[in-house]
Every structure is written in C-alpha cells, then in structure tokens.
Amino acid sequence: MTTTFDEEGWRTELEGHREEKDEFFADHPQSPIPPEHRDDFDGLSYFDPDADYRVTATVETHEEPDPVEMETTGGRPQRYLRTATLHFDVDGEACSLAVYSREDQDSLFVPFRDKTTGQQTYENGRYLELHPDGELADGDDVVVDFNLAYSPFCAFSETFSCPLPPEENWLDVEVRAGERTWRPN
C-alpha cells in the first residue's frame, strides 16, 4: 500500500514541534538555555522547512552490533551499539549514517556532522532520533527527516556533556535543514 506524502500536514506538524520546543526552552526549569538568557530568548534559529531533506533511507542491519565508544564534550566517553547503517541520497549524493542504540533509550540515535557544521549549525554536530514502529530489518525503508535535526544541550550550555558524532557519520554534503546555531541576544 503506497501512501501519499501530505506536505502541508507535514509542514504544520513540523512548525508545531518547533513552537513546542521553543516554549520549553524559554520557560521550563530544565531548559538548556542559561537562566540569564531566558528573558531575551525568542526562539531557536531554524532552516526553512524543506521536504527535499525528508529522505527515504534503506536499512542495512548488523547481526552482531558493534560497541562504539563515543567521545563527548565533557571528556568521559559514552558506550553505544552500532545497530544499523542507513543508505540514502542528499542532493543526488549517496550518503550513509550509522544508527546507534543504548539499553536505556527507546529511540535510535543518529549523531552527524555535515558541511554546515561550524558554519550555520553547531560546531560539534547535530542529532536525529528515529522511532521505528518495530525492529529495523535489512532492506527496510525508513524516512529520515533532517528537518528534525537538532543541536544537543551542550550547544547551549557547557554544563552538559554530549556525545560527538563519530567520523563515520560525517557527511560530505550540506544538510540545510533543522536547527541552526543559537546565539544569545
């Protein structure tokens, strides 16, 4: 069964998600925005929604997930399992990203860098989370929406320690979607 993509509904949902996040960052006690900047906080900076950065990726699963020690901004590495690799195209370029999991997380973790890193986006990379309906199987197609790419909490405050995208997840293309670099007013 083929479903058609409702771009207007997608755009409305994405903009609602961004509004909720901005409200959380502005008002919530657990916001990563330092308290001295919250009064002036008027929202995160985002690339305009672009459905071209909502890509279909083919899953390559790993029967024996490899443990990966990810360096962090705070010094102590974090251990993940490389459970799959996603293969997709961005602007006609073949790309791949490793997918990681941890026992304490329900979602799959996809940290990455691209050609906007350190320019228009956070200098240490951005993250995506995948929430598949079940276990990923070899050859499955999954939608990866880079419009949901976000900066980790350490982009806003040095009090947080965040995993750094491993070199295997450094894309050689620009991903002009998702969150841009935040700078306090």
What is the side-by-side order of every strand in the sheet holding 93-101? 126-130, 108-112, 93-101, 78-90, 54-70, 141-145
Q: Report the number of distinct structural domains present in the chain.
A: 1
**13 part of a folded domain:** no
**19 part of a folded domain:** no
- The structure's pTM equals 0.93
pLDDT value of position 95: 98
Does the pLDDT at position 134 exceed 90?
A: no
**91 part of a folded domain:** yes
**97 part of a folded domain:** yes
Does the pLDDT at position 61 exceed 70?
A: yes
pLDDT value of position 140: 95
**Which range of residues forms the domain containing residue 133?**
45-169
- 2 versus 150: the higher-pLDDT residue is 150
**9 part of a folded domain:** no
Quick: pLDDT tens for 4-20.
Answer: 889 999 999 999 999 99
**148 part of a folded domain:** yes
**137 part of a folded domain:** yes
**37 part of a folded domain:** no
| Burial track 121-143 (b if 16+ CB lie within 10 A, e otherwise) | bbebbbbbebeeeeebeeebebe
Please report the sign of the dihedral spanned by the C-alpha atoms of residue 36, residue 40, residue 44, residue 47.
Answer: negative
